[in-house]
């Protein structure tokens, strides 16, 4: 397997953190040509990992490689091969879309003979060609993200590192951005993206789940969800208070939480799902509840994350 990104024991402690670490013993292997998501809440350590991989920060211990190059000893070689888009990417608001691309092409030393063609490709790729003369400061949030992405890619990087690129944009722009990222991967680029959104994690080929600086698990979304030791039942009945009481008192129910006007009920696996549903149905009918929904539900990455975090807390 051709590895694009690798870390061994990656740890970072900041001077202000005496006995804690921003990230702890992170071991990752990311194959070339995939979309890999680092998933976790604010403060999980996502940005710290990306900054180390982008060679703008040194780890306290451990090592990392990009395309076979050591982030400490061969930082210049790495910077030529990556595109890095920090969370607060600084565009020049008084420059036009095209002028921003021209500036970043010069910064990345794109040869003059290739620059015009490369900028035209990026404008077309991100659907910004029709507004290439608009000042960056006048762009919407989604368009600014697309321009920042185009600037990070203008030199044709092998690896693209993006820190929460969809944060702060509207749902339509988020969807468009992920379509663009899928096309980037089809071009053979390895994309490493951080996100706090579990629905975005399901768009990735592989993910690593982070919490309080620790890597909880890594693998494909299907692998992570399939490994869960429970099933989910979706329940909606009236009156709601009595529904919750019955669910809480039912055998094989491990946990439950409300989602809108219904409950997501965690039940033990091993073929007990059908039995639990039948038990709930009997109790609901006996108590004269009006049943709207009572069925198995698909397990999600959010279910996996909550389960792994609970396990982490229990070990602490």
Tell me, what's the pLDDT at 267? 92
Strand partners, 150: none
User: Is pLDDT at 157 greater than 70 in this prediction?
Assistant: yes
Q: Report how far Cα 58 is from the mean position of its chain's Cα atoms.
A: 23
Structure tokens at 291: 């049943």
**Residue for token pair 């996100």:** 195
Cis omega (within 30 of 0) for bond into 266: no
197-220 pLDDT, tens digit each: 999 999 999 999 999 999 999 999
Number of domains in the chain: 2
Any domain includes 305:
no
pLDDT of residue 120: 94
Flag whether 160 is in a domain.
yes
Q: Is residue 273 part of a domain?
A: yes
Residue 135 shares a structural domain with residue 77:
yes
Query: pLDDT tens digits, residue range 111-128?
Result: 999 999 999 999 999 999
Q: Which domain holds residue 44?
A: 3-220
Residue 154 backbone class (left: φ over 0; alpha: ψ -120 to 50; beta: rest):
alpha
0.75 exceeded by pTM: yes
The CATH number of the domain where 286 resides is what?
Answer: 3.30.70.100
pLDDT of residue 316: 63
CATH of the domain at 132: 3.40.50.300
Are 43 and 27 in contact, with CB atoms under 8 Å apart?
Answer: no
Contact between residue 97 and residue 123 where contact means Cβ atoms under 8 Å apart: yes
In a domain, 309, yes or no: no
Q: Is residue 161 part of a domain?
A: yes
Kindly state whether residues 207 and 241 are assigned to the same domain. Answer: no
pLDDT grade, residue 1 (50/70/90)?
A: low
Q: Looking at the structure, do residues 216 and 243 belong to the same domain, yes or no?
A: no
| Tens-digit pLDDT profile for residues 35-63 | 999 999 999 999 999 999 999 999 999 99
**Torsion angle in degrees (nearest 10) through CA of 115, 119, 120, 121:** 100
Question: Domain ends where: 162, 188, 220?
Answer: 220
CB 294 within 8 A of CB 280: yes
pLDDT attached to residue 91: 87
Q: Is residue 306 part of a domain?
A: no
The verdict on 250 and 198 lying in the same domain is no
Same domain, 66 and 183: yes
Q: What is the pLDDT of residue 18?
A: 66
Do residues 164 and 41 both lie within one domain?
A: yes
């Amino acid at each position: 397997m051709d590895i694009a990104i690798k870390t061994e024991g990656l740890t970072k402690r900041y001077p202000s953190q005496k006995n804690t670490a921003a990230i702890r013993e992170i071991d990752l292997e990311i194959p070339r040509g995939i979309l890999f998501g680092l998933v976790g809440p604010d403060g999980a350590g996502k940005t710290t990992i990306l900054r180390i991989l982008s060679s703008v920060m040194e780890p306290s211990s451990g090592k990392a490689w990009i395309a076979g190059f050591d982030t400490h000893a061969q930082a210049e070689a790495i910077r030529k091969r990556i595109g890095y888009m920090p969370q607060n990417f600084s565009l020049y608001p008084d420059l036009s879309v095209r002028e921003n691309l021209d500036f970043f092409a010069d910064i990345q030393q794109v040869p003059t003979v290739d620059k015009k063609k490369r900028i035209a490709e990026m404008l077309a790729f991100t659907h910004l060609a029709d507004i290439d003369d608009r000042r960056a400061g006048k762009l919407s949030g989604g368009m600014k993200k697309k321009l920042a992405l185009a600037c990070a890619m203008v030199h044709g990087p092998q690896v693209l590192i993006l820190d929460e690129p969809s944060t702060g944009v509207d749902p339509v722009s988020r969807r468009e951005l992920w379509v663009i990222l899928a096309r980037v991967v089809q071009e053979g680029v390895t994309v490493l993206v951080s996100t706090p959104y579990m629905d975005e994690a399901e768009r990735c080929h592989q993910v690593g789940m982070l919490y309080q600086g620790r890597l909880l698990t890594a693998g494909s979304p299907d692998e992570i969800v399939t490994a869960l030791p429970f099933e989910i039942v979706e329940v909606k009945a009236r009156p709601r208070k009595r529904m919750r009481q019955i669910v809480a008192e039912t055998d094989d129910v491990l946990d439950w939480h409300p989602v809108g006007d219904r409950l997501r009920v965690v039940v033990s696996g091993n073929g007990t799902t059908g039995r639990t549903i039948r038990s709930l149905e009997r109790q609901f009918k006996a108590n004269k509840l009006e049943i709207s929904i009572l069925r198995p539900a698909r397990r999600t990455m959010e279910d996996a994350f909550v389960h792994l975090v609970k396990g982490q807390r229990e070990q602490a």
